[in-house]
Structure 1
Amino acid sequence: MKRLLSTALVCLAACTALVPSVHAQATKARSAVQGTAPYAGRSEAMQMAADIAQRRGLPLDWVQATLGQARFLPQVPRLMTPSTQVSAKDWNRYRGRFIDPVRIRAGVRFWQTHVAALERAEREYGVPAEIIVGIIGVETVYGQQMGNFRVVDALATLSFDFPDAHPRAAARTEYFRGELEQFLDFTYRGGMDLFALRGSYAGAMGLGQFMPSSWARWAVDFDGDGRIDLFRSPVDAIGSVANYFIGHGWKPGMATHYPVSLNATPAQMAELLAPDILPTFTPERMLALGARVHGGGMAHPGPLALVELRNGVEAPLYIAGTENFYAVTRYNWSSYYALSVIELGEEVRMAREMGR
């Protein structure tokens, strides 16, 4: 199935190599990745600074001085360059990256510590606690892996030195320039020390790994202290993740997916899989095409998608995804990612209920 790149949040660790141990990541994150040449000497960077200052009403000298201090990170273009090695998709292997005893135990501790905030978010936004817990667990192991790249360096590198080898280099360059502009704007207006902010090599920040545009639009002061802090306030992160989902079509009370059994011809399968993860079919239409939805799914009131998760040389896993499954993929446009989030949250909930 065709996989789309996220334009709202980037969770690149979830889509690449196996995640290193929590201890190794925590040790590595103690110091920022060091950049090389500053962008003060790049005419296109200084011109962009002038454009940003004019569009946003920011002091020109501040924008130019700030952007001029950003440094090129040579490892970032390498990390963004698509791999030439193509491996078969493997749901079970992918799932194992994120659903393990260490992460589940950390999730239980996080849930127990912030149970009041999770219950309030579920009550006010209609997003189940396990979905929020699943997101923060997959993204950062509950704050233990928030990244060690200076955000301004990462965003500047991707704005001015995005790898030409990428098939969508021009579009991605424009995207990251927009994110850099958002970052400069909200850190200035919020009085934040932007040089102290660390994140992923794509510029994602905090417990929920929000990109600057998502921070500006969806982040909320959920702990009521008068400021938004997605780095040090798990409560703000909880409310912000819930608000992000509501803004991306989450429907309170709706299931994320249902089991499905197949008795479809190749032509029917092609039709069922053509929309990818976009919910398109009624349960009755899916049945007519040889896909029976179980677990109460035949009474589902909205559209469904037949979601295929390949298992290497083994038979794929198929589920019927709802509009809420699609909403989870708005965080990272991957069905593998979405089901990992959902299943991690469920595992943490069950472990907590069992007192583990």
Structure 2
Amino acid sequence: MTLHTPSFGFKLALFLIAISAGAASAKDVKPLKVKVSARAGQAQGPLYATRADAMQFADDLASRRSLDPEWVRQAIGQSRFNPTVARLMQPPARAFVKNWRVYRSRFIDPVRIQAGVNFWQANRSTLARAEKEYGVPPEIIVGIIGVETIYGRDTGSFRVMDSLATLAFDFPSSHPRAQERSDYFKGEIEQFLTMESRRNADPFEPRGSYAGAMGMPQFMPSSWAKHAVDFDGDGSIDLWNSPADVIGSVASYFKAYGWQSGMPTHYPVRFDASRLDMDALMAPDILPTFGVASFTAKGAVLEGPALEHKGPLALVELLNGPDAPSYVAGTENFYVITRYNWSSYYAMSVIELGREVAARLAP
């Protein structure tokens, strides 16, 4: 497939990076005069055109993906280090006590619930079509989009190219998985530039989260490439402005990670103190591991439909600060939600927001 060379169109004079691969230095490069906004999402640091490692990566990427090498060099070279992005990726300075009630209150609020009602009402037929095609119920899709961006109200103000470049080439070394994360974001740059080239688009136009997530569902470039779908059938995928594409893409994502139609996300659970083996129950964390018989033999008490559950379960613990934790028995579908964001607190917020919205819609 022949790829078109995109026009940058971002009101910057084009420049040539007068370096050979792997031999860049500040004196070799004539940097662009970039007009930088004072908004929080705008980068303030130096251009990556001065970095030999970044330029070598650009050449390698262009070769791997059969992209125009000068265009890729310009895209990466005109990206800027964003100190805010680097700071937000730093591990917390001190440990904090998780609190499910506080976390929940950030997402289950009247404004977000009403916005969810409006979104569901406006897209009822599309949500039903997504459930029919992918098996993912409307309340889960509505919960995801609401938790992520309040249905498109806040999709992020960081220039995606700057965020991805900062995290690819300057991921904070204090992070315990710095090299692994740096490699991950290099892969995201590759996916993003491939996507922008195919769309003949300006790679400096998209804005997103500080990690480079984009659109109403906050898809990373790799998720966009793998799971986004043209659900409105207009010939393109638009996760910023097409609710249908967003709904279909979220459902596609969950289906790809193993969502099982009709399966609950979790069940209530209590404990029989006389035979409770909490260490064993907690050992797998949130990965569903125990059959019902094994789960209950370790002191977890289930009732009603939970006793008929056919798949594995996990004991999900939600800390409540100084108060007693909350617990649920998580199913494989609960675990699928955590593949969107690796947090049981996040998953429960998605579930409960969707339920609150659904309850408001009920006659």
Q: TM-score when scaled to structure 1?
A: 0.89
- After superposition, the Cα gap between the structure-2 partners of 1:134 and 1:168, relative to the gap in structure 1 and judged at 3 Å, is same
Instruction: Note if 1:35 corresponds to 2:74.
Output: no
Q: Is residue 326 from structure 1 mapped to residue 335 from structure 2 by the alignment?
A: yes
Match of 1:341 among 350, 357, 360: 350
Q: Over residues 193-231 of structure 1, what are the superposed CA-to-partner deviations in whole Å (9 max), with x where a residue is unaligned?
A: 221100000000000000000000000000100001101
State the distance in 2 between where 1:316 and 1:254 align. Answer: 25
Which residues of 2 match residues 1-356 of structure 1 at below 5 A? 32-264=41-273, 268-354=277-363
Q: Deviations over 1:265-300 (max 9, x none)?
A: 697100001000000011111111110122410100
Cα offset for 1:29?
12
Q: Which runs of 5+ in 1 are unaligned?
A: 1-27
SS of equivalent to 2:217: coil
Residues 211-270 of structure 1, C-alpha deviations (whole Å, 9 max, x = no match): 000000000000100001101111101000000000001001101000011114697100
Identity of aligned residues (%): 60
Question: Could you tell me which amino acid in structure 1 is paired with residue 326 of structure 2?
Answer: L
Contact 2:229 2:248 in 1 (8 A): yes
Q: Distance in 2 between matches of 1:273 and 1:265?
A: 17
Letter in 2 for 1:331: Y
Shift in Å at residue 192 of structure 1? 2.2
Normalization by structure 2: what TM-score?
Answer: 0.88
CA contact (8 A) 1:29 1:145 kept: no
SS of 1:146's equivalent? Answer: coil
**Contact kept? 2:276, 2:299, Cα under 8 Å:** no
- How many pairs does the alignment contain? 327
Deviation readout 1:300-355 (Å, 9 max, x if unpaired): 0100001111111111111000000000000011111000000000001111225x
Task: Report the residue type matching 1:62 in the other structure.
Answer: W
Native 8 Å contact 1:35 1:153 kept in 2: no
Deviations 1:116-149, CA, capped at 9 Å, x for gaps: 1111101111100000000000000100110000
Structure 1 residue aligned with 2:9 = none
C-alpha contact (below 8 Å) 1:264/1:289 kept by paired residues: no
> Greater helix percent: which structure?
1
The one-letter amino acid of 2:239's match is L
Counterpart Cα distance in 2 of 1:70 and 1:149: 12
Aligned-residue RMSD, C-alpha = 1.6
CA distance in 1, matches of 2:97, 2:282: 18
Q: Residues 126-179 of structure 1: CA distance to partner in whole angstroms, max 9, x if unpaired?
A: 100000000000000100110000100100000111111111111100011111
